[in-house]
Structure 1
Amino acid sequence: MPLALRPASEDDLSDLEPLTPSRSKSGKDKARDKLERERTKGQPGSSAGSEKKRAIVWHPEEEAKKIAKALNHHKADPDPVIDILPALTHDQTWLLRKEYRKQVKIQGKGISLPKHLKMKLTGNFGKAAYVTALGRFESEGYWANFFYQSHGSRRELLIESLMGRTNGEIRMIKDEFKDKRYGDDLEKCLTKELKMDKFRSAVLMVLEERRQEEQDAYPAEYVDRDVETLYRSLTARQGGESAMLEIVVKRSDAHLRRVLDGYERAHGENFARAALKKSNNLVGEVIAHILNGVINKPVRDAMLLNHAIHDVAAKNKDDDLRYELLMSRLVRVHWDKPHLERVKRAYAEKFRKQLKDDIEDATKGDFREFMAELVETK
């Protein structure tokens, strides 16, 4: 299993904290608003007062003008892009894109901000700016189908963009997916591009949007049934992976915590470790990614970032994918500032270094400056 998804050793799993006991009726905007409310409910800095204050002092018209001016040169000025894009929330990014299309026109037609960035900026910095400008959900669709366009043998980007998501997040990723070859249909794209195997079945299962919702608590007998199904799957001489995927992919995080706790009490072993031993393949990668997030998402994401950073530092002239893993992981966590703070704390506790310092040591130039700004949570 690739290092980026598999813990460096079983000790890494033990470092994770112990376990403790409808589609929108009025379109994408309402679905996005509802998802954002659910995501920020009860989180630090998510009060109505703080959001209102931030909205008053931020002006998308001025920011759009600054970026347009920066790009309107033979050699684009990177500073405004670095200063503006990483600090924006998902909703602010959408407002900026809307304003940019109104202000900037080529042959009389408004141009999208991500496309303009892609035209004018180059290298890893240009790609990072482009993906960030896509926003929280369209960027995940970009990574979900990136593997077949450039790196068919590397599935981390696909796994991390889709696995462990809520139904609402999957819905938004599907709604904002762009690929004209497949009529902007993510399900059609992955059905065609993935070979017929259990990994493909797991991906399509996610896209069905039938995962248990976090607020839906199943009775205790469901937990016991899942525990025994997982045990039979692990102890079977052959097969068992499909049954494991059915549970791990379709159950909520809260339910899976109860199952993992019940499994350890009933059978005296950690199911996540046992599953990795049985399935040292793509199925194992899917299970590891989801369950590591269930156990401790900040630690999981800190480990993923650390692996990507060290890959870039060690092989930064050999493989562009090293950069893509880093930028995909960092752009992903930066949308949720409270979660990013938890990731930074977990990173410092586990690796005894600051995330921003490691990123700056491993990268260079405008790319380094942009990545460093993504880590900021002010």
Structure 2
Amino acid sequence: MKGFGTDEKTLIHVLVSKDALQVDVLRAAYKKEHGRDLIADIASETGGNLEEVLLAMVRGPLAQDCHVLRTGMAGPGTDEEALNDVLLGRSNADMAAIKACYTKTYRRNLEADLKSELSMKTERLFLMVVAGTRAESSAPVVPQQVEQDVLEIYKATEGKTGTDELLVCQILSSRNDAQIGAIAQLYEQKYRRSLEAVIKAEFSGHMERALLHQLRTGTDRAGRDASLLEDSMAGMGTKERLLLNRAVRAHWDKTHMQRVKAAYRAKFHKDLGASIRNETSGDFEAALLGVIGE
């Protein structure tokens, strides 16, 4: 590539060292100097998983989130993990930006696409989520509200025959992270059972995974992301696109990435970098190691 040379290692080094703002500046400078689009040039000069990592970096966090959503809903089937990773646990400002970018980029409505891909109560959950009506992060933890939420969740799950799924969805989709953390703590104190265990017992499938994602965002975000990275490498074969999307998403917040790596080491008794080396190779391995700061 003109301006970078054809050395993939140079491309990797240049791109993984940039934050989101610097990437935008780089794209503009490349366009001004060469009269070419950096994304188009990377797509023409690279391929496979390396191309996907580099394009994810050049798109930046918002456009990449929208790309993951659209890819996850295009064609037959639905990539449920993509929907969970991008949409769950986000702030209202994030959600507004994602919806606007999705519409601008693809000339499609995110809510309409979710309705076409999901059904029944899982569809209702995601429509609650994309409505963007969570308590703001600045909203306080009010003990009386926490007690009420804990009681409502108990009555909707363990305290009745059957489960009122939508009530649990409504609570976890409308509270901020600190409030969810307080709910989880009080629930375990009061009923001697973790809320995570309750969700695993009372829900299944996509709904279970989505609610656990929301819960873990409030109780241990770094641990959540460490587990998601491990899940993308565990078992037979590595889910490479899932791995790279999750690694790149964590990459944009350097402090959070360090917390994720520490949580990964604590939970799985191995280093994230070592796992990536074991599961990938070549330029893809080098790019992912750069993404996680190694």
Q: TM-score, normalised by structure 1?
A: 0.72
Q: Secondary structure at the match of 1:315?
A: coil
User: Could you give the per-residue CA deviations for residues 18-53 of structure 1, whole angstroms, max 9, x where no partner exists?
Assistant: xxxxxxxxxxxxxxxxxxxxxxxxxxxxxxxxxxxx
The match for 2:214 among 277, 290, 300 is 290
1:84-163 residue pairs with structure 2 within 5 A?
84-105=14-35, 110-111=36-37, 113-149=38-74, 152-163=77-88
Contact 1:179–1:185 under 8 Å retained in 2: no
Verify the 8 A CA contact 1:163 1:286 in the aligned structure 2.
Answer: yes
Confirm or deny that 1:309 pairs with 2:233. Answer: yes
Following TM superposition, by how much is the alpha carbon of 1:174 offset from its aligned partner in structure 2, in angstroms? 2.3
Letter in 2 for 1:170: M
Give, in whole Å, the separation in 1 of the partners of 2:131 and 2:155: 26
CA distance in 2, matches of 1:249, 1:201: 11
Structure 1 residue 231, shift from structure 2 partner: 0.7
Shift of 1:244: 0.3
Question: Which residue of the other structure, out of 88, 92, 96, is the alignment partner of 1:167?
Answer: 92
Residue 88 of structure 1 aligns to which amino acid in structure 2?
A: K
Distance 1:341 1:159, change over 3 A: same
Shift of 1:151: 6.5
The answer to whether the aligner puts 1:69 opposite 2:41 as a matched pair is no
1:51-106 CA-to-partner distances (Å, cap 9, x unmatched) read xxxxxxxxxxxxxxxx64347xxxx431221111111111111111222222233x
Separation in structure 2 between the aligned mates of residue 340 and residue 97 of structure 1, nearest angstrom = 24
What is the CA-CA distance between 1:184 and the residue it aligns to? 4.8
1:197 is aligned to 2:120:
yes
| Matched residue count | 293
Tell me, yes or no, if the aligned pair for 1:114 and 1:133 is still in contact at 8 Å: yes
Partners in 1 of 2:256 and 2:75 — Cα distance?
Answer: 30
Residues in 2 aligned to 1:142 and 1:202: alpha-carbon distance in whole angstroms: 22
Equivalent residue for 1:277?
201
Q: Report whether the alignment pairs 1:268 with 2:192.
A: yes
Could you list the runs of 5+ residues in structure 2 that have no partner in the other structure? none
Return the letter of the residue paired with 1:100: Y
Structure 1 unpaired stretches of 5+: 1-66, 317-321
Query: Which amino acid in the other structure matches residue 360 of structure 1?
Result: R
Quick one: which amino acid aligns to residue 125 of structure 2? A
Report if the CA contact (8 A) 2:222-2:256 is conserved: yes
| Fraction of identical pairs, as percent | 25
CA distance in 2 between partners of 1:150 and 1:367 (Å) = 26
Partners in 1 of 2:233 and 2:250 — Cα distance? 15
Secondary structure of the residue that 1:69 maps to in structure 2? coil
Secondary structure of the residue aligned to 1:344 is: helix
Deviates more, 1:168-177 or 1:125-134: 168-177
Residues 282 and 310 (structure 1), Cα distance of their counterparts in 2 relative to 1, 3 Å cut: closer
Give, as a single letter, the amino acid of the residue that structure 2 aligns with 1:138. A
- Deviation above 6 Å: which 4+ runs of structure 1? none
Q: Find the aligned partners of 2:154 and 2:178 in 1 and give their Cα distance.
A: 19
Q: Please report how far the alpha carbon of residue 308 of structure 1 lies from its aligned counterpart in structure 2 after TM superposition.
A: 1.3
Alignment partner, residue 34 of structure 1: none
Contact 1:310 1:362 in 2 (8 A): no
Aligned match of 2:285: 368
Query: How far did residue 354 of structure 1 move?
Result: 1.6
- How has the CA–CA distance of structure 1 residues 103 and 185 changed in structure 2, closer, same or farther, with 3 Å as cutoff? farther
Matched, 1:215 2:138: yes
Give 2:9's match in structure 1, choosing from 79, 86, 96.
79
Letter paired with 2:284:
F
3-state DSSP of counterpart to 2:74: helix
Q: CA deviation at 1:166?
A: 0.9
The CA deviation string for residues 158-211 of structure 1, in whole angstroms up to 9 with x for no partner, is 10111001112222222332676x5154334323x3233222222222221211
Aligned-residue CA RMSD (Å): 2.0
Instruction: Please name the residue that 1:351 is paired with.
Output: 268
Q: Which residue of 2 aligns with 1:258?
A: 182
The worse-fitting range, judged by mean Cα deviation, of 242-251 and 286-295 is 286-295
| Equivalent position to 1:299, from 223, 230, 233 | 223
Counterpart in 2 of 1:228? 151
The normalised TM-score by structure 2 is 0.92
CA distance in 2, matches of 1:166, 1:89: 20
The one-letter amino acid of 2:278's match is D
Q: How far has the Cα of 1:142 moved from its partner? A: 1.2
Aligned-partner Cα distance in 1 for 2:130–2:27: 27
Shift, 1:116, TM fit = 2.6
